[in-house]
Amino acid sequence: MAKKYTLDELLIITAAREIRDGEKVILGVGLPTTAGAMAKALHAPDATLMMESGILDIEPLVPPNHIADAHSCRGFSYATDLFSMFTMTYRGYVDVCFLGVAQIDRFGNLNTTVIGDYYRPKMRLPGSGGAADFISYAKRTILTMRGGEFVEKLDYFTSPGYLDGGDSRDASGLFPKGSGPAMLLTTKGVFRFDEKTKEMVLTLVHPGVGVDDIRRDIPWDLKVAPDLTETERPTDAEIDFVRRFAPTEAVGRKLMYELGIGHSLNKALARGK
């Protein structure tokens, strides 16, 4: 009988499956590092995993506590600095990056700065950090949202997705052609972006979740893929890896940090409604 798994494990494993062999991937603390470690161990042995702080080609031993936590960066091939990591991204050497989301609109534009009015906010968030740079210049961005919300208009525009949709991102001349968000992973399903309109499209629902459950969270007429299916269940090998690498308590704690800005954001959003 196949093993039971938690929602956190499903999210990690679904994200890990997005990493392809041979890709150069910038990871963040929490879900991305666990997903990257799993991908390299199980299906993408030649992926190059990198931390924003400048540690390259790692094989993490344990989940890091911060982006410069060398304790977890077993087997690194090269160490540089933050400036070099950013310029590496600008020059097109990064295939994939991961970003957490607090607010997102239909074209994948992000807010991780403030909920509510900038000067009288309901909640201050961590801000951009490297997010705006990475989503601008990485070839693909994987977005994760655990405690955030879908909105028609962002309270603050932190990081560019597909701007106004269509070819507006490429036409701006500010970003490499073809770059941008590839996937949004939430606690209810997986969204991708229409090839032409660049509008968000629901492509997978997690087990036990209905389309109507997801529509209730979204303030626009959500597009649903005609071949909508259920998220593929994790294999026993994938579940075993996650539990060895990041036991449930640690995973949950780090997911709160990385994905949703935790329960505090949910409370702030609730107060504003």
Which of the residues are catalytic?
52
| C-alpha closest to that of 19 among 110, 94, 81 | 94
Contacts of 126 (CB under 8 A, 6+ apart): 112, 261
Rounded to whole angstroms, the Cα distance separating 245 from 272 reads 38
Instruction: Quickly count helices (H) and strands (E) in the chain.
Output: 9, 15
DSSP string, 64-98: -SSTT-GGG-TT--EE--HHHHHHHHHTT---EEE
Helix (H) or strand (E) holding 31: helix 31-42
Bridge partner residues of 189 (DSSP): 205
Contacts of 1 (CB under 8 A, 6+ apart): none
- The four Cα atoms 148, 138, 142, 151 give a dihedral, to 10 degrees, of 30
Q: Are 78 and 172 in contact (CB under 8 A)?
A: no
CA angle, 255 then 15 then 141, to 5°: 95
Q: Are 242 and 9 in contact (CB under 8 A)?
A: yes
Q: Are 205 and 189 in contact (CB under 8 A)?
A: yes
